[in-house]
Chain A
């Protein structure tokens, strides 16, 4: 369906591609894909408003994979928010650092991908699906596999901390494989931090298998530096009676592209996707989500909200597929945007593709300003206009934030959002 023309950036990546000993066939296959398809150009429907290739061509000067930087344990402590209790796994320029991490006796297993026999690697996030997945598969040095055993309820959250800095190469490629066995429960948090304001390209792949009757929450905070280019590929397979909830909060970056894909493999699955993007400056955030209903009696909910100001741009594309077998599907999708400035742009495309007749599917999207009447109501009650605005915007954003199940993370993000919206009074 997609036609891509090879571009200069593709060649630069292939020329600078590292050669790692692990996973030879996967990497070779990925090289073929990148070489054959090329990285998506602006003509590509999937990357219509977000030309990552063009951006990379303009700003990236060093296409070599990034090496770890000096990060001290104190730096990590500084970036853990108040009230955080749980294990954390640190990625230093995309490479897992065991010594900086803390995850003892937490009830789950962590292995380096190269040391485990990660058979599932590349089977959930298939390289042929998106050239950026293939690119990550070529560029990641090593990643980790997390396994939650059957019936295990991991009480405290598992936090991924990404520390990124560009002075040791600019291509950062984190790779994570999570396998949650049957009847298990876990909460994952993710926080990406830029240690300087330099240009880097982070291209991550996270593959998750949610086993039968398991419940997984995954909340992400994207707070990269204003020059960072971020592509995240998030692929999940959700099995019978399992639930998976993803929440993404994007606050900064130069260009951020989130690909999120949920495959509801069996009956009784629930997939939830929530997103909030508060954009200013020239930040460009693109959320592409994809839910695939393959079997009957599954449900998906989606709510993405955006507040845009300055010259920022928000792109949303939500796809819902309901296959022929997936009768009795419930799928809901909503995208709301508020534009606060003359130069902000929103491109949204809520897409439904339905092949089954006994389904309830709906999608909606709105773009507009704050409700004048609500503003007036608050002003009439003695709240000044700025405060009233902040209050209304905070309430608008709150609908997404409430889905973050870890309280300390939610409070932390909540504060950042309040600061940004000027509603921290």
Chain B
């Protein structure tokens, strides 16, 4: 047991790799939240009148709402008046290309292992890099625009493609959807926008990299992805934040719209700062993600690897409206120390012959609490709907908890819905088997955990899978002897 503790000790004392911050000159909104701040943000971004109205409407609704308390997480409440709702690195003029972007900004991303300049040369991934409240640069814009694909920051899209924004903004996640979505609708600062035209298969992975740098701010970005008929896109999202003692709030909204025969694959590797080993600091990750399979034969697939954040509250969902549409949710959620995660999905079957699949793997270590909360709903006209859910939990150490809250609501007799869940720990016999074959206990644990999470990791695009595996190893290696 003492060895276990020693290894656990080592593990928990491991520093958060991305915990540094950079002193940048920033443009910030004053502390606090009121209608003037929202007008200030809107003016700063030179937004059209209708968007300001939309924000204000959301804000007014938000004021009437109460913070949700049903999730299995406990944390000191956020003081919404003590936050700054806008923080942007100072730039004299808008950069036309990456060459004009402040080199210090680019350095931030380089330190994170994302070299925007290099990305420019390498074929593969187009990145939209978001720092605090604004997008600092988007790569490969021109290549993509030749195919008619629009991939840019949200603010840019507001100016250049107002019709699309007007049509789809809030169509999947209404501004009044929930407390944090309403807050986001009122104060969102930037984010990514992506439109794939009819019949186009996006030739590269599109990616957004979110980074919180400034202290005392909240990050409220908004992502909108529209896949028109018969198109395909794979979208990646990554995030990190500096190590700070206070809790920072991240309340994002992601909306996906898939027209008929379209397919969207959305992958997240979430590695916000999780707080130190006493549970001090860390990001509150309160995110609303939802996609709608609006057309027949469309497909939305969510893959997430959740390793960071002090508190996670996130349920990427699919509304399966089109007949024969497919929703998928693959998740690995790892919690350590005092982290708390309440995550899962909602699959709403509305159309006929819709299918959904949920694979959720929770891993809890240290003193963390890990909850799966999911809902599978089969509406009355969703004939022949099919769902399979599997949610497994792996516990490491006797001070952590794993919880499962699956809601299954069926209103159609032809539906076939299955749910299964198991909870276990890494077996001594498994470790012994590996030891016998010359694999050290540390490696054996990594091996077993990777095997356990493989079903999900396999769904990730290549570049992400490697990062995710490294993250898993870093978070968990050796936490059980």
Are A and B physically bound partners? yes
Query: Which positions in A face B, CB cutoff 8 Å?
Result: 45, 324, 327, 337, 339-342, 344-369
A350 touches B421 (CB 8 A): yes
Whether A347 contacts B422 by the Cβ 8 Å rule is no
Contact, CB under 8 Å: B403 / A369:
no
Known A327-B398, A351-B406, A357-B398; contact A366-B418, beta-carbon cutoff 8 A: yes
Q: Which of A354, A358, A367, A369 is the one whose CB lies under 8 Å from B401?
A: A354
Interface string of B416-441 (1 = CB under 8 A from A): 11111111110000000000000000
Q: Flag if B417 contacts A367 (CB, 8 Å).
A: yes
- Give the docked Cα–Cα distance between A327 and B424 (Å): 11
Cβ-defined partner of A362 (8 Å) among B397, B412, B416, B423: B423
> Which residues of B pack against A, CB within 8 Å?
70, 380, 393, 395-425
8 A-B residue pairs with Cβ-Cβ distance under 8 Å, sorted by A, are: A324-B399, A341-B413, A345-B411, A348-B407, A362-B422, A362-B423, A364-B418, A366-B417
The answer to whether A368 and B396 touch across the interface, beta carbons within 8 angstroms, is: no
A365 and B418 form a contact (CB under 8 A): yes
Contact of A347 among B404, B407, B415, B425 (CB under 8 A): B407
Pairwise interchain contact A349-B403, C-beta atoms closer than 8 A = no
Q: How far is the CA of A81 from the CA of B400 in the complex (A)?
A: 51
Asked whether, in the complex, the Cβ of A339 is within 8 Å of the Cβ of B408, the reply is no
Residue contact A344 to B413, C-beta cutoff 8 Å: yes
Expressed in whole angstroms, the minimum distance between the Cβ of A306 and any Cβ of chain B is: 11
Q: Which 8 A-B pairs give the minimum distances between C-beta atoms? A: A357-B395, A339-B413, A364-B420, A368-B416, A352-B404, A361-B423, A355-B401, A367-B417
Inter-subunit contact A357/B425 (CB<8 Å) = yes
**Chain A residues near B404 (CB-CB < 8 A):** 350-353, 363
- In angstroms, Cα B399 to Cα A359, docked, is 13
Known contacts A349-B408, A358-B425, A342 near B413 by CB under 8 Å: yes
With a CB–CB cut-off of 8 A, which chain B residues contact A347? 407-410
| A368→B425 CA distance, assembly (Å) | 31
Q: A355–B424 Cα gap in the complex (Å)?
A: 11
- The CA of A364 and the CA of B418, in the complex, are separated in Å by 7
Residues of B within 8 A of A368 (CB): 415-418
Interface of chain A: mostly helix, strand, loop or mixed: strand
Please name all residues of chain A whose beta carbon is closer than 8 Å to the beta carbon of B397 when the two chains form the complex: 357
Question: Which A residues are CB-close (under 8 A) to B425?
Answer: 357-359
Docked pose: A324 CA to B399 CA in angstroms = 7
Distance in Å from the Cβ of A392 to the closest Cβ of chain B? 15
A365-B406, A367-B417 given; name 13 further pairs at CB < 8 Å: A341-B413, A346-B409, A347-B408, A347-B409, A350-B419, A353-B404, A357-B395, A357-B398, A359-B395, A361-B422, A364-B418, A364-B419, A367-B408
Closest to A316 in B: B408
Report B369 CB to chain A, min CB distance, Å.
9
B70 — which chain A residues lie within 8 A by C-beta?
Answer: 45
Report yes or no: A360 in contact with B408, Cβ–Cβ below 8 A: no
Cβ contact of A354, chosen from B402, B410, B420, cutoff 8 A: B402
Residue of A nearest to B395 (CB): A357
Inter-subunit contact A367/B421 (CB<8 Å): no
Asked if B410 and A357 sit within 8 Å, CB to CB, the answer is no
Contact of A346 among B400, B408, B416 (CB under 8 A): B408
**Do the beta carbons of B405 and A351 come within 8 Å of each other?**
yes
Contact, CB under 8 Å: B415 / A367: yes
A356 touches B398 (CB 8 A): yes
How distant is B345 from chain A, measured CB to nearest CB, in Å? 15
A345 pairs with B410, CB closer than 8 A: yes
B369 closest partner in A (C-beta): A355
Q: Flag if B409 contacts A366 (CB, 8 Å).
A: no
Chain A residue with minimal CB distance to B411?
A345
Question: In the assembly, what is the distance between CA of A389 and CA of B420, in Å?
Answer: 26
A344 cross-chain contacts in B, Cβ below 8 A: 413
Tell whether, in the assembled complex, residue B421 and residue A363 are in contact, meaning their CB atoms are under 8 Å apart.
yes
List of B residues within 8 angstroms of A342 by Cβ: 380, 412-413
Question: Are B414 and A369 in contact (CB-based, < 8 A)?
Answer: yes
Query: CB-nearest residue of chain A relative to B413?
Result: A339
Task: List chain B residues, Cβ under 8 A from A364.
Answer: 418-421
Most-contacted residue by chain A among B70, B380, B398, B414 (CB, 10 A): B398
- Closest A residue to B389 by beta carbon equals A365
How far apart are the CA atoms of A375 and B300 in the complex, in Å? Answer: 35
Partner pick for A367 among B395, B396, B410, B420, CB 8 A cutoff: B410
Contacts of A324 in B (CB 8 A): 398-399
Of all chain B residues, which has the CB nearest A342?
A: B413
Beyond A344-B413, A367-B417, whether A349 also contacts B405 by CB under 8 A is yes
Collect the chain B residues with CB atoms within 8 Å of residue A356's CB.
Answer: 395, 398
Which of chain B's residues has its CB closest to A357's CB? B395
A3 to chain B: closest residue by CB: B69
Q: Which residue of A lies closest to B426 (CB)?
A: A357
Inter-chain contacts of B407 with A (CB < 8 A):
347-349
Q: From A336, which residue of chain B is reached at the shortest CB distance?
A: B418
Which chain A residue has the least Cβ–Cβ distance from B371? A353
B424 CB contacts on chain A under 8 angstroms: 359-361
Question: A355 — which chain B residues lie within 8 A by C-beta?
Answer: 400-401
Measured between alpha carbons, how far is A340 from B422 in the docked complex, in Å? Answer: 29
B395 touches A354 (CB 8 A): yes
Distance A354 CA – B403 CA, assembled complex (angstroms) = 6
CA distance in complex: A355, B366 (Å): 11
- Indicate if the CB atoms of B401 and A352 lie closer than 8 Å: no
Residues of B contacting A359 with CB < 8 Å? Answer: 395, 423-425
Using CB atoms, name the residue of chain B closest to A323: B401
For B419, list chain A residues within 8 Å (CB): 350, 363-366
Chain B residues with CB under 8 Å of A327's CB are 398
Q: CA of A363 to CA of B404 in the docked complex: distance in angstroms?
A: 10
Q: A358-B398, A363-B421 are in contact. Are A350 and B393 (CB under 8 A)?
A: no
The distance from the CB of B376 to the nearest CB of chain A, in whole angstroms, is 9
Complex Cα spacing A368 to B70, Å: 29
Q: Name the distance in Å between A46's Cβ and chain B's nearest Cβ.
A: 12
Across the two chains, which residue of chain B brings its CB closest to A349?
Answer: B407
A348 CB contacts on chain B under 8 angstroms: 407-409
Q: Which residues of A contact B406 (CB under 8 A)?
A: 349-351, 365
Q: CA separation between A327 and B422, bound complex, in Å?
A: 16
* Cα-based distance from A342 to B399 in the complex (angstroms): 46
Known interface pairs A346-B409, A348-B408; A362-B421 also in contact (CB < 8 Å) = yes
Are B420's CB and A345's CB within 8 A?
no
For A341, what are the chain B residues with a Cβ–Cβ distance below 8 Å?
A: 413
| Residue on A nearest B423 in the bound complex, by CB | A361
Which partner residue on chain A sits nearest B393 by CB separation? Answer: A354
Identity of the chain B residue whose Cβ is nearest the Cβ of A315 in the assembled complex: B409
Cβ-closest chain B residue relative to A365: B419
Chain A positions within 8 Å of B414 at CB level: 369
B residues less than 8 Å from A357 (CB atoms): 395-398, 400, 425
A351 CB, nearest partner CB in chain B, Å: 5
CA distance A351 to B423 in the complex (A): 12
Chain B min CB distance to A183 (Å): 33
Cβ of B401 and Cβ of A353 under 8 Å apart? yes
Give CA–CA (A301, B439) in the complex, Å: 37
The CA of A194 and the CA of B202, in the complex, are separated in Å by 67
Q: Give the CA-CA distance A100 to B422 in the complex, in Å.
A: 49
In the complex, A99 Cα to B407 Cα: how many Å? 48
Bound-complex Cα distance A270 to B399 (A): 25
- Interface centre among A45, A345, A356, A367, by most chain B C-beta atoms within 10 angstroms, is A367
**A45 vs chain B, min Cβ distance (A):** 7
Assembly CA distance A362 to B391 (angstroms) = 10
**Which residues of the partner chain B approach A361 to less than 8 Å between Cβ atoms?**
422-424
Q: With A and B bound together, what is the CA distance between A324 and B397 in angstroms?
A: 10
The one of A45, A340, A351, A363 in contact with B420, judged by C-beta atoms closer than 8 angstroms, is A363
Partner of B412, one of A339, A360, A366: A339
Q: Which residues of A contact B405 (CB under 8 A)?
A: 349, 351
What residues of chain A lie closer than 8 Å to B423, measured between beta carbons? Answer: 352, 354, 359-362
CA distance A346 to B406 in the complex (A): 13
Kindly list chain B residues whose C-beta atoms are within 8 Å of the C-beta of A350. Answer: 404, 406, 419, 421
The distance from the CB of A419 to the nearest CB of chain B, in whole angstroms, is 22
C-alpha gap A352/B420 in the complex (Å): 11
Residues of B within 8 A of A358 (CB): 398, 425
CB distance from A42 to the nearest CB of B (A): 15
**Nearest residue, chain B, Cβ from A361:** B423
